[in-house]
Structure 1
C-alpha cells in the first residue's frame, strides 16, 4: 500500500477487494464456512514506501522448485480456516476505481470478466473497528483484512489487550472464513510496525504476531486464517533484516504471503521464487499484493500473461490478490488491469483459466 492509503486508513476509511479459497477438491466458500464451524464447534520494489536498493534475485528454474508440502503432513489442514485448494488458485483484488463505489466496481468487474473475484481485500488502521460485514462483497468471497500495526511496545506492554480482543470479536462476527494479514511488509523501512522502526528488532515482530494470535484464539475467533506477508525484498538489505528473521513459526502462520510489483521490470520468478523456495515445502503461498506496471508497448499485457504461466508452474500458490486501482494518491501508476485492451484481455484470460478457478 501507499503512504496516501495509510493516511486514509488512519481516518477510518477501509479498502475493499476479495480473496477466496476452497479446500482440497475445490470446496466452495459456503463449504469452507461449514468446515471452520465444524472444527470450532460452531532493486526498488515496493508500492508501499521507501525504495530498497536490493537488486534482482536470481530464481531457481521451475524444475528445481521443491515438491510442495513435502513436510506438511495432512494436506486437508493447510491454510487453517481458509483451506488451501490443491491445484487451484483463488484470484482476488483490492478494488478501488475512480468514480465508482465499491459495489459498483464489483459489478463492473463481474461484467468484464464474467465472474467475481474470490477475495475481498480491505485495509484497516490499528485503532479502527475491524469489519463485521463488507458492503457489496460478492457472496462467495472470503475477506482478507490487512490490519496495520503500531510500534511493538504498544502490543507487548499489554496496553492494547482490550483493543485486540474487541477486534477478534468483530472478526468472529463476520461469521465466515477470513484471512487476517497483520503487519505486512515488516521487512521494509516504510511502516511503523517494521523492524527498522523498532530498533532493528525482528524478534519483537515475532512476539507481537504470536501475541495477537493467542488473544484471537482466546476470544474464539476460529474463523481466522493468519497470513504472514513480507515484501519480496528487504530494505535495508542487511543480514538482521532478512524476511525469515520475522517468521512467527509454522504453528502461528496459516498462509505465507508476499508483496511484489514489477517496478524495475522484474520477472515473476525474481519477485516470488525466493519466498516460494523457502516456504512452499510446508505452507500454501499467496501473492498478497501484485500489480503490473506499463513499461511501454505490450509490456503490461505480456507481464500479466507471464505471471499466469508462472503460477501454473508452481502448485503451492493457492491465491493471488491484484492491486486493482487507479485511486493511488502518491504514485503515478494506474495499477488497474484494464488500462489498455491488451492488458484487459490478458487478465481476463488468466481469470478464466482452470488454474484460477478456485
Structure 2
C-alpha cells in the first residue's frame, strides 16, 4: 500500500465514522477508569410507565461496527491493537475507553487509530451531586474536552443504572429512577450549552434489572427520545445464556433508534464459546437495528480471574475471526 493510498483510506474511514454516528442519532442534541464486566444475571423486570418511543430519525447503515474495550496484560495499547489487526485482518472500528467520574475525559487515554470511532464510557455519581449544581463546572469542562476533540464521539454515561452494583444505580439513590432521568437531562443540557454537537448519547442499561422490582423497571430510567441517540445493552455469557436471552429484553423496548451491544463477551469454555459467537452472528442478522457489537476484550478485569479475550482459545479466536470477515460486521 502506498502512503497516498493509506492516507486516502484512513480519511474515507474517518468520514464513514462520522456518517455512522451522525446518521444514527435521534433528536438529542468510585475508582479509576479500569473496567470490569459488572452485569449480573437475574429475572426480567415488571412492566412500568416509561419506555422509548419510535423515533423519526434517519436510519443508520445496515452494516455493523465491530469494536472493543481492549486491554491485554503484557501489551501496550498500541501492541494490543497491532495484535488484533493481525488476527482479525483489520482494526476494531470502535475503541471504547472507560473513565471515572472525576477523570478528565480523554487525558492519558490512547489516541484512536485512523478511522476508529471513540466511545467514552463515563462513570456516574450520586444523582444529588449532579442535580444540586455542585458539579456543573466539572461537567462543562468535560463537555468542552469532547467538543475540542472535534470528531464524532459516542458517550455512554452512567451505564447499567438498573443494577445494584454502581453508586449511580437507582438502588444506591433511594430507589429513584426519576433521579437518573433528571441527572441525564441535566448533563445533556450542559453539553448542549457547551456546543458539544459531536457527542452522541448512548443509553446503556444492563440486560436485566437487579433487583427485579416494579420500581426498578428499566423503562423508568429512559431519559426520553430527545436526549438519547443510541440504545445499548451490557450482557455477558458465562456459559449458559444465549444471545436472545441476553439481549432481547432491551432490544424490544419499542424504539427504532440504532442499537448496540456496548459490552459483551463469552467465557472461554470448551466449544461453547465458539458456538455462542455463531449464535451472536445469527442474532445480529435477525435484529436489524443492531449497528455495533463491542467486545470486552481483556484479561485484566478487576475482581475476576476470567479472561474475556477473543483469543482465549483457538476455537474462540477462529469464530471471532470469521465474524470479523463477514461483510455484515465491516461497518
TM over 0.5: yes
Residues 41-56 of structure 1: pairs in structure 2 closer than 5 A: 47-48=37-38, 51-54=40-43
TM-score with structure 2 length normalisation? 0.86
Q: Which runs of 4+ in 1 moved over 6 A?
A: none
Report what 1:190 is aligned to: 165
1:197-208 correspondence to structure 2 within 5 Å: 197-208=172-183
* Unaligned runs of at least 5 residues, structure 1: 1-26, 40-45, 58-68, 79-83
**Is contact 1:91-1:117 (8 Å) kept?**
yes
CA 1:56–1:73 in 2, change beyond 3 Å: closer, same or farther? Answer: closer
Counterparts in 2 of 1:133 and 1:220: CA distance versus 1, 3 Å: farther
What does residue 19 of structure 1 align with?
Answer: none
Say if 2:102 is the partner of 1:115.
Answer: no
Would the alpha carbon gap of residues 182 and 211 (structure 1) be closer, same or farther in structure 2, given more than 3 Å must change?
same
Q: For the residues of structure 2 that align with 1:250 and 1:236, how far apart are their CA atoms?
A: 25
The within-5 A match list for 1:130-141 is: 130-131=105-106, 134-141=109-116
Q: Is 1:324 equivalent to 2:309 in the alignment?
A: no
SS at the partner of 1:261?
A: strand
Deviates more, 1:286-295 or 1:127-136: 127-136
Change in Cα spacing, 1:119 to 1:32, as seen in structure 2 (3 Å) is closer
Compared with structure 1, are the counterparts of its residues 54 and 264 closer, same or farther at alpha carbon in structure 2 (3 Å cutoff)? farther
> 1:89 touches 1:317 (CA, 8 Å); kept in 2?
yes
Distance 1:97 1:266 in 2: 25
Structure 2: tracts of 5 or more residues without a match: 1-11, 26-35, 47-51
Whole-Å separation in 2 of the counterparts to 1:142 and 1:53: 32
Q: Which residue of 2 aligns with 1:346?
A: 319
| Cα-Cα RMSD | 2.3
| CA distance in 2: counterparts of 1:184 and 1:71, whole angstroms | 22
Q: Cα–Cα, structure 1 residues 322 and 345, in superposed 2: closer, same or farther, change >3 Å?
A: same
Q: State the distance in 2 between where 1:258 and 1:329 align.
A: 20
Superimposed CA distance per residue, residues 13-42 of structure 1 (whole angstroms, 9 cap, x where no aligned partner): xxxxxxxxxxxxxx8432454896xx9xxx
Change (3 A) 1:109 1:340: same
Tell me the alpha carbon deviations over residues 304-323 of structure 1, each in whole angstroms, 9 at most, x when there is no partner: 11101111121100001000
How far off its partner does 1:350 sit? Answer: 0.4
Q: Secondary structure at the match of 1:206?
A: helix
Aligned mate of 2:230, from 241, 248, 255: 255
1:73 equivalent to 2:64? Answer no
Deviations 1:56-112, CA, capped at 9 Å, x for gaps = 99xxxxxxxxxxx9943342xx5xxxxx32x21111000010100111100110011
Q: Give 1:194 shift.
A: 0.4
- The answer as to whether partners of 1:103 and 1:137 remain within 8 angstroms in 2 is no
Match of 2:268 among 294, 310, 319: 294
- Cα distance change on mapping 1:133 and 1:91 into 2, 3 Å: farther
Residue 284 (1) aligns with residue 274 (2): no
- Contact 1:113/1:351 (<8 A) preserved: yes
Partner of 1:333: 306
Match of 1:312 in 2: 285
TM-score normalised by length of structure 1? 0.80
SS in 1 for 2:252: helix
Q: Supply the distance in 2 between the matched residues of 1:149 and 1:47 (Cα, whole angstroms).
A: 16
SS in 2 for 1:251: helix
